């Protein structure tokens, strides 16, 4: 009974993480479309939200990767999963507070690593899985997206550079609706699966489902799809502003090049089962499309802050995950620890939102530009 | 610590790189050709040069077909893996 209560708390926390994942990563899908006025803000997030939901049902390959390749499934308990999720949620909220597009996937994996390490030491971590399936692809993704976005925009300028701007802009805005849709679909396919993988990991740890025959239950797929879709709809407008206009002010062709190349990289990685960071990919493509036009067009200070946040994400989320696990265990192995930590996190989140709301206008509402 | 070659699947990474390059650059360039074809076809039609307008219209249609095929293939990749 006690372990069932813990699993219920873990599932609720996983869905809360999924919500912050959608909320945090809305920018990846809609920032360029909003910036170039291809779609009005609220239409863009509604469109992205619907396609994220659909995308979550398409494949389960990445879900299996998160659960089986990063931490030892047989050493994992629901309390470890809980600690990992809190680490990821906390880091997502911190980076949202500063308007930085960091990777929710890295935060989740980092949180799980820290929590598992605190519980079982280094034996719980599959080093090869972390490096081969997560870190190397995550290094490759932004560089590759930077190159593809940069080369893509050079081709575009070469091909349509002498045409009338009116028709060209209208054409690329229409193209952004298509590429943005594909990106949202790919984001749902990749990111909702990570939550599915974590929930399934907790269910396996609790003995609710067999670890011998790993499968993701239907209710997990449906709830994860709903949570990420709702988070996407709410939208993290501060990060949207950073991605859409603070890195560089993009034109419609750059917006299309960034979205199209980002979608291509994410789909290619998804095809081979890598839990690739959508944030790293799209940010790389956005910077590439700006730098290829003119190096000075990119605000490198903003880009540098984003890279610092990327580097910090894994260790910071791991530290919070480990601390959370430690605090939870002070209350024993029952449900009291997760309940106390959840209450503290909720209070902290409310404080963060209220402080952010007090500092600037309309934290969670679309800008009117 | 295992050698990097054992940790990272070089084949998978190479696959990601070449598919990304081909799809990303191919799709953006094709869509640019579609816009070029459409824009030139409109301009040439307005100036009464219908023969050349048809050629650019065909270019537009073919380029759009390539983009549509890429989008469909992307969705197929997602649905069939």
Taking CB atoms and an 8 Å limit, are A132 and B19 in contact across chains?
Answer: no
CA distance A183 to A263: 5
- Partners of B34 on chain A (C-beta within 8 Å) are 171
Asked if the model's pLDDT at residue B75 lies above 70, the reply is yes
Q: Do B25 and A261 touch (CB under 8 A)?
A: yes
d(C-alpha A100, C-alpha A104), whole Å: 11
Residue-level pLDDT at A242: 86
Selecting from B16, B23, B31 the residue whose C-beta is nearest the C-beta of A274 gives B16
pTM for the structure as a whole: 0.85
User: How far is Cα A191 from Cα A58, in angstroms, rounded to an integer?
Assistant: 12
Q: Which residue out of A155, A190, A250, A280 would a mutagenesis test of the B interface target, given it has the greatest number of B Cβ atoms within 10 Å? A: A155
Q: Please, which residues bridge with residue A71 across strands? A: A125
Mean pLDDT of A67-72: 73
What pLDDT was estimated at residue A256?
A: 92
Residues from chain A that touch B16, judged by Cβ atoms under 8 A, are 137, 140, 144, 265, 268-269, 271-272, 274
Average confidence (pLDDT) over A54-59: 82
**Which candidate in A133, A272, A280, A293 is best for mutational testing of the B interface (most B CBs within 10 A)?**
A272
> A117-160: per-residue pLDDT in tens?
999 998 889 888 888 777 887 788 899 999 999 999 999 999 99
Model pLDDT, residue A211? 67
Residue A365 pLDDT level (bands cut at 50, 70, 90): very low
Query: In the numeric block, which tokens belong to residue A181?
Result: 């849709």
Q: Residue A40 and residue A30: Cα distance in Å, rounded?
A: 10
Confidence of residue A193 (pLDDT cuts 50, 70, 90): confident
Q: Do B20 and A268 touch (CB under 8 A)?
A: yes
A61 neighbourhood in chain B, CB within 8 Å: 81
Give the Cβ contact number of residue A133 at 10 Å.
Answer: 26
Q: Do B25 and A148 touch (CB under 8 A)?
A: yes
pLDDT tens per residue across span A251-307 = 999 999 998 888 877 777 766 666 567 888 989 999 999 999 888 888 898 899 999
Q: Min CA distance, B44 vs chain A (Å)?
A: 12
Range B4-29 average pLDDT: 79
Tell me what ipTM this predicted complex has: 0.90
A155 vs A351, which has greater pLDDT? Answer: A155
- A137-153 burial, b if ≥16 CB within 10 A, otherwise e? bbebbbebbbbbbbbbb
Assess whether pLDDT exceeds 80 at residue A225.
yes
CB proximity list for A336: less than 8 A, separation 6 or greater: none
Cβ B35–A261 below 8 Å, yes or no?
no
What's phi and psi for A277, nearest 5 deg?
Answer: -75, 115
- Over range B50-59, report the average pLDDT: 93
């Amino acid at each position: 009974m006690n372990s069932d209560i813990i699993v219920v708390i873990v599932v609720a926390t996983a869905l809360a993480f999924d919500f912050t994942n959608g909320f945090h990563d809305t920018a990846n899908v809609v920032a360029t479309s909003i910036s170039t006025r291809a779609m009005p803000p609220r239409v863009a997030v509604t469109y992205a939200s619907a396609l994220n939901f659909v995308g979550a049902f398409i494949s389960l390959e990445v879900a299996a990767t998160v659960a089986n390749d990063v931490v030892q499934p047989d050493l994992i308990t629901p309390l470890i999963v809980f600690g990992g999720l809190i680490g990821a949620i906390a880091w997502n909220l911190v980076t949202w507070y500063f308007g930085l597009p960091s990777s929710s996937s890295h935060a989740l994996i980092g949180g799980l690593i820290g929590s598992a390490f605190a519980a079982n030491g280094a034996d719980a971590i599959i080093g090869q899985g972390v490096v081969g399936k997560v870190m190397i692809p995550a290094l490759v993704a932004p560089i590759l997206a930077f190159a593809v976005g940069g080369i893509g925009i050079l081709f575009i300028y070469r091909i349509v550079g002498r045409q009338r701007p009116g028709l060209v802009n209208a054409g690329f805005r229409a193209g952004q609706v298509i590429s943005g849709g594909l990106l949202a679909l790919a984001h749902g396919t990749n990111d909702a699966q990570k939550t599915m993988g974590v929930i399934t990991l907790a269910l396996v740890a609790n003995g609710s489902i067999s670890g011998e025959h790993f499968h993701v239950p239907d209710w997990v797929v449906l709830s994860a799809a709903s949570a990420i879709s709702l988070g996407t709809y709410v939208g993290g407008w501060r990060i949207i502003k950073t991605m859409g206009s603070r890195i560089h002010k993009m034109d419609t062709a750059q917006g299309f090049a960034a979205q199209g190349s980002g979608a291509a990289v994410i789909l290619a990685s998804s095809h081979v089962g890598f839990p690739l960071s959508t944030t790293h990919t799209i940010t790389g493509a956005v910077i590439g499309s700006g730098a290829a036009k003119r190096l000075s067009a990119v605000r490198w200070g903003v880009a540098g802050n984003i890279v610092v946040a990327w580097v910090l994400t894994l260790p910071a989320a791991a530290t919070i995950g480990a601390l959370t696990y430690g605090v939870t265990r002070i209350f024993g192995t029952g449900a009291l620890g997760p309940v106390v930590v959840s209450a503290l996190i909720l209070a902290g989140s409310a404080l963060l939102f209220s402080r952010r709301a007090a500092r600037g206008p309309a934290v969670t509402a679309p800008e009117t530009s | 610590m295992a050698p990097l070659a054992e940790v990272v699947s070089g084949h998978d990474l190479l696959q990601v790189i070449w598919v990304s390059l081909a799809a990303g650059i191919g799709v953006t360039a094709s869509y640019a050709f579609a816009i070029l074809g459409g824009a030139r076809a409109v301009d040439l039609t307005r100036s009464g040069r219908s023969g050349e307008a048809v050629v650019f219209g065909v270019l537009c249609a073919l380029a759009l077909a390539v983009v549509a095929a890429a989008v469909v293939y992307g969705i197929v990749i997602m649905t069939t893996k």
